[in-house]
Amino acid sequence: MSDIETRTDPEKADALHDVNASSPDAPLAATVEKPGKVKKPKGLFESVMSPLSSFGFTCIILLCLMVLTYFGTYAQKSIGLVKAQEVYFDSFICRINFAAFNLPDLWIRFPGAFLLLILLAVNLICGGMVRIKWRRRNTGILIGHFGIIFLLIAGLVKFSQSTNGYVQLWPNEKTSIYTSFHEWEIAIGEPLGDGTVREHLIPGGDLERHGSFHSSKVPFRLIVDDYFENCRPRSAKTSLATNVVDGVLLEEMPWVKEAPMNTAGAYVTVHADGEKPLRGLLFGHDNHPWTVTVKGVPWTIDLRKCIFDLPFEVRLDEFRKKEHPGVSTPMLFESDVTKIDKGTEQKFHIAMNEPMRYGGFMFSQNNWGPQDNRPGPYYSVLEVSSNPSDQWPKYSCFVIAFGLLIHMLTKLAKHVNKQNALRRTM
């Protein structure tokens, strides 16, 4: 009988040693403890970025926006769309009064939508654009975040740069200006001596602060002593009453939720060097402006709704309306207009949900009149909007959708590759 040859394989021996070492009966081997990772102290940049970019901060902002949307939408029932937008959505800090919601008379200060959207933009920039790892697999997420930030920028541009108003045109009438629905301004008219007038404007937002206004081009200082968003003039019973000007005073009225129905009014004082102060009363529906003489020159001061210029003219060619059978309620009304720009004419048709767009302006059918059952002719009321970021929300939605599509395709490709790898190992 021959001897059995014995040969040792070093690799198999190491594997056998590992198996025996892991068995319960194997002797305990000496273990070496690995030192734990020492956390580096956060720097100033990380300390600031960490709360601003956190997902928890995002959730708090979205929750506040949801609460604000509820209260702001419900408040439109009592104070109207314009006032609710001003109080809740155009402000940094708003005041929520629970009495308006049939709750106990309690009010709290709450961040307004303007402040919340700024914080959301900061959160998206810090968390979605700065702290995120810039890898190929995160391309879709980065594009989606950029689209949301672009959407917020569009809202900021609209808030700060857009204007809104209307034009009222009879057939064959044309205009190159439009009037705001509810915003007011003071226009100071300076005669130029050739029959024309140069206007110096004070925006309505400044009037509410009851400030003092002065310009190097105007030889006097105008002080707004008191300003009312809605008021009416009435005769004073005695000339000794407070705030009486030429036997008339302004009676402040409650805000009407249909904003165009409110009429502003103000008490103003003209101060010129070396002359006696002149006190006047301005009412939004006065037929004529207040005229004052300063240093021998007549100046006009008028409180009116804001007027905006158009870089072209619009002429109403024809207005048509079609009524429901048996009633005077119109089923549809539409206008044919001509745009005149530097001598060039272009025809447009404007109807409900069919606006005219040209030169950054949008004209849409808003109303008509007179609505007193007369057979005609009628005038057409066209709403005019100027918004540099009019199409930006649409573009931002395309960017967001593209980012989501890339992200889903990336995840799908990763899943398919993983499944193929599993099949190859089986």
Q: How far apart are CA 284 and CA 301, in angstroms?
A: 11
Which residues have a Cβ under 8 Å from the Cβ of 415 and sit 6 or more positions away? none
The pLDDT assigned to 307 comes to: 93
Beta bridge partners of 311: none
Q: Report the C-alpha gap between 350 and 318 in whole angstroms.
A: 11
Per-residue pLDDT of the chain (426 residues; tens, 9 = 90+): 444 444 555 544 454 444 444 444 544 444 555 555 556 666 666 777 777 888 888 899 999 999 999 988 888 888 888 888 888 998 899 888 776 667 676 788 899 999 999 999 888 888 776 677 777 888 888 888 889 889 999 999 988 889 999 999 999 999 999 999 999 999 999 998 888 899 999 988 788 777 889 888 899 999 998 999 999 998 887 655 667 888 888 999 998 888 889 999 999 999 998 889 999 999 999 888 999 999 889 999 999 999 999 999 999 999 998 877 766 677 888 999 999 998 899 999 999 889 999 988 999 999 988 887 777 789 999 999 999 888 899 999 999 999 999 999 998 988 888 888 888 887
The pLDDT score that the predictor gives to residue 15 is 45
Extended beta strands in 85-193, E state: 93-97, 107-111, 163-169, 174-191
The pLDDT value recorded for residue 35 is 58
Instruction: Give the pLDDT score at 328.
Output: 67
The dihedral formed by the CA atoms of 8, 13, 14 and 18, expressed in degrees to the nearest 10 = -170
Longest dimension (CA), the chain: 143
Q: Do 182 and 260 meet the contact criterion of CB atoms below 8 Å apart?
A: yes
Q: Give the residues across from 325 on adjacent strands.
A: none
Residue 165 has what pLDDT? 94
Rounded CA-CA distance 380/168 in Å is 6
DSSP string across 318-349? EEEEEEPTTSSSEEEEEEEEEEEETTEEEEEE
User: Residues 339, 343, 344, CA angle at the centre, nearest 5°?
Assistant: 55
Strand order in the sheet with 278-283: 212-213, 221-228, 265-271, 278-283
Give me the pLDDT at residue 42, please.
63
pLDDT of residue 395: 94
Cβ contact 370:383 at 8 Å: no
Tokens of 392: 């930006």
Angle at which helices 139-161 and 392-425 cross, to 10°: 170
DSSP label of 3: P
Instruction: Tell me how crowded residue 405 is: count the other CB atoms within 10 A of its CB.
Output: 13
Distance CA 142, CA 125 (A): 10
Can you give the residue ranges of every domain in the chain?
44-131, 177-308
Task: Please enumerate in sequence order all residues whose Cβ is within 8 A of that of 209, keeping only pairs 6 or more positions apart, or say none.
Answer: none
